[in-house]
Structure 1
Amino acid sequence: MKWVNFVGGLKHSVFKTAKNIAFPSYTIIVAKNPVVGDFTSIQDAIDSLPSINPVRVVIKVYAGVYTEKVSIPQGKSFITIEGDGADKTIIQWGDTAQTTGPNGQPLGTNGSATFGVNAPYFIAKNITFKNTTPVPPPGAVGKQAVALRISADTATFLGCRFLGAQDTLYDHQGRHYYKDCFIEGSVDFIFGNSLSLFEGCHLHAIAQNAGAVTAQGRSSILQDTGFSFVNCKVTGSGALYLGRAWGPFSRVVFAYTYMDNIILPKGWDNWGDPNREMTVFYGQYKCTGPGATFAGRVSWSRELTDEEAKPFIDLSFIDGSEWIRL
């Protein structure tokens, strides 16, 4: 467990020191009614910003269903997207990995996202990101359908909903904080290789057969990445793994989390590669509910001690005090 002590004292040196901008310089209104807002499209509002955006901008999105595919380019940092409530402001689209793109080739999982973020210091509040693709049948190919992809450092999501089926939330790369969010899906519906803390979130499965909450993609022992779920709850349908070892050094911890009886007793899956059982880190700490029983878990997962759990259960896990501005 030497690495637990290492992580506990880590400043995550692979990341640059974060210098967030908390106070908005100005606000843009997006509304379905053109008389009320500055724009009727979220993408149009983003496109109106300079290609290198140096100040915090709030894009206030009034209630409504916005059927559009949205992308935030790399230079447009410091954007806040704020809805009227996650049940009232919804951004939706229906691409999958096999959808043909403008170049005549399949979009792939990355390109299937309804909402893609490629710039740092992004904040989303009280809004729903949805991929409308239904739950695919077992064994279906190319049905990955991402609701939101976050491919940049220092992103915060507060009171948001992520709705989809296979591969709902692509937590791709960077440090991310999710608080009081609702995340729904069937297979690997939280996946990627970010360093992310999920606090007070509701993870809801709509799997028809077997499914998995996470597929964390840590590929090297040198990577400071992993998912930590604290004070969350897992509910829904199907027979669910807590995680599958998408990366050989996959790292996921559930702490103080309620688990419904849909969790498979084994808890974790090795992605068909027994060698990964020696290198992954899967842990539980003081979880509750009928699905949290540790007795049937695979031998290569662990029930954490207080000391082992400590690095994972607060904002220091993601250097949050540096950059999170609620």
Structure 2
Amino acid sequence: MDYCCVLVMVIMTLFASCFGVGLSKTNEIYVKNFISWDDMKVDGHKIRLNTSTVYHNQSRVIVVDKNGGGDSITVQEAVNMVPEYNKQRVKIYILPGIYREKVVVPRFKPYISFVGNEGQMANTIISWHDKASDRNSNGGSLGTYRSASVTVGSDYFCATDITFENTVIGAPGEPGRQAVALRIYGDKAMFYKVKIVGGQDTLLDETGSHYFYHSVIQGSVDFISGKSRSLYQECLIQSTAKKIGAIAAHHRDLPDDNTGFSFVSCIITGSGKVYLGRAWGNYSRTIYSNCYFDNVIIPAGWSDWNDPLRHKIRGIPELGNRI
């Protein structure tokens, strides 16, 4: 079995362990240490956040309605309602609309779901417009990481039927135009039927183990970047580059770091000409397996970021792809 097959199998095995079933009991509170399909659904019988009795297989719901018909008119206000060090799933049910705000889910608020109406991904949007060169409250540059429209630092986060958007538009590679739509550094997160839209550095898949399934990711330069161990399965990856861009920029500090991006059965399409990836650091690792590439891919495939040594030691194989 060749290196590509082994690596794909290893990544798939790791994800099985990350999202596998586990149930623990702490002070009579059941903690689900996994993400289930039910965690991304809200049925007609909603258990409100302030309900006193919630059984171990139930979840509390906070309704966000920008028109005032829910528990909150903003997504951030709903996040603020979740207790710190929460031990049960809380679903933030976001009704259709454009929520123009910057949202932070802190590390100490795990087990949160963002749930939109089924089939309403394009109509349920969290949107902001920060970029790296913008100024912070101290007068310094905001930086790429803090440009994110939505930042998720908590574990066991999941989202479905939501669009995460950064509206900054700039020329590919233009200094200070890095503008993140979604930054995720919590562990064991899942994104199902979401859309992540931006230009440069759209998705900052920073650290942790993450699963993106049946989702859409748009951008122009390094629009999927980070140090995480992530699986992108049956996703639509869309380049919006005018001329030249790049899809993935994975970074590893050491050759034995157990991280990498794996794209499995994805469709790669869009505009301009793009590299499949750029080697961000000496040990970048990205896999494309059984993906469809249209004519946007630059024939060379990969960029070594102007460092020939990276070309020799990177791990960015392709397996069973088609054009």
1:104 CA drift (Å): 2.0
Give the aligned partner of residue 87 of structure 1. Answer: 122
Equivalent positions of 1:28-107 (< 5 A) are 28-34=62-68, 36-84=69-117, 85-107=120-142
SS for the counterpart of 1:47 is helix
- Equivalents in 2 of 1:228, 1:189: separation in Å? 15
| Cα deviation digits, residues 288-322 of structure 1 (max 9, x gap) | 11xxxxxxxxxxxxxxxxxxxxxxxxxxxxxxxxx
1:207 CA drift (Å): 0.4
1:128 aligned to 2:163?
Answer: yes
Give the aligned partner of residue 110 of structure 1. Answer: 145
SS for the counterpart of 2:144 is helix
Structure 1 residues 9, 246: CA separation in 2 closer, same or farther (over 3 Å shift)?
A: closer
Give the aligned partner of residue 174 of structure 1. Answer: 208
Give the aligned partner of residue 315 of structure 1. Answer: none
Structure 1 residues 182, 21: CA separation in 2 closer, same or farther (over 3 Å shift)?
A: closer
1:194 aligned to 2:228?
Answer: yes
Give the aligned partner of residue 20 of structure 1. Answer: 34
1:145 aligned to 2:159?
Answer: no
Is residue 228–residue 259 contact of structure 2 (8 Å, CA) maintained in 1? yes
- Equivalents in 1 of 2:156, 2:132: separation in Å? 27
- Equivalents in 2 of 1:58, 1:95: separation in Å? 27
Give the aligned partner of residue 320 of structure 2. Answer: 286
- Equivalents in 1 of 2:175, 2:7: separation in Å? 40
Is residue 24–residue 58 contact of structure 1 (8 Å, CA) maintained in 2? no
Is residue 64–residue 70 contact of structure 2 (8 Å, CA) maintained in 1? yes
Is residue 19–residue 34 contact of structure 2 (8 Å, CA) maintained in 1? no
1:163 aligned to 2:197?
Answer: yes
| Cα deviation digits, residues 209-241 of structure 1 (max 9, x gap) | 110010011121121111111111111111110
- Equivalents in 2 of 1:220, 1:201: separation in Å? 28
Structure 1 residues 218, 127: CA separation in 2 closer, same or farther (over 3 Å shift)?
A: same
Counterpart of 2:156, as a letter, is Y
- Equivalents in 2 of 1:253, 1:81: separation in Å? 29
Give the aligned partner of residue 226 of structure 1. Answer: 260
RMSD (CA atoms): 2.2
| More divergent stretch after superposition (276-285 vs 60-69) | 276-285
1:138 CA drift (Å): 4.4
Structure 1 residues 220, 67: CA separation in 2 closer, same or farther (over 3 Å shift)?
A: same
1:106 CA drift (Å): 1.2
Structure 1 residues 221, 262: CA separation in 2 closer, same or farther (over 3 Å shift)?
A: same
Is residue 194–residue 227 contact of structure 1 (8 Å, CA) maintained in 2? yes
Counterpart of 1:184, as a letter, is Q
| Cα deviation digits, residues 183-206 of structure 1 (max 9, x gap) | 000000000011000011000011
Structure 1 residues 89, 279: CA separation in 2 closer, same or farther (over 3 Å shift)?
A: same
Counterpart of 2:196, as a letter, is F
Q: TM-score, normalised by structure 2?
A: 0.84
Aligned-residue identity in percent: 41
Structure 1 runs of 4+ with >6 Å offset: 1-4, 15-18
Give the aligned partner of residue 41 of structure 2. Answer: none
Q: 1:272 aligns with which of 306, 311, 322?
A: 306
Structure 1 residues 231, 148: CA separation in 2 closer, same or farther (over 3 Å shift)?
A: same
- Equivalents in 2 of 1:228, 1:283: separation in Å? 10
Q: TM-score, normalised by structure 1?
A: 0.83
Is residue 21–residue 55 contact of structure 1 (8 Å, CA) maintained in 2? no
SS for the counterpart of 1:277 is helix
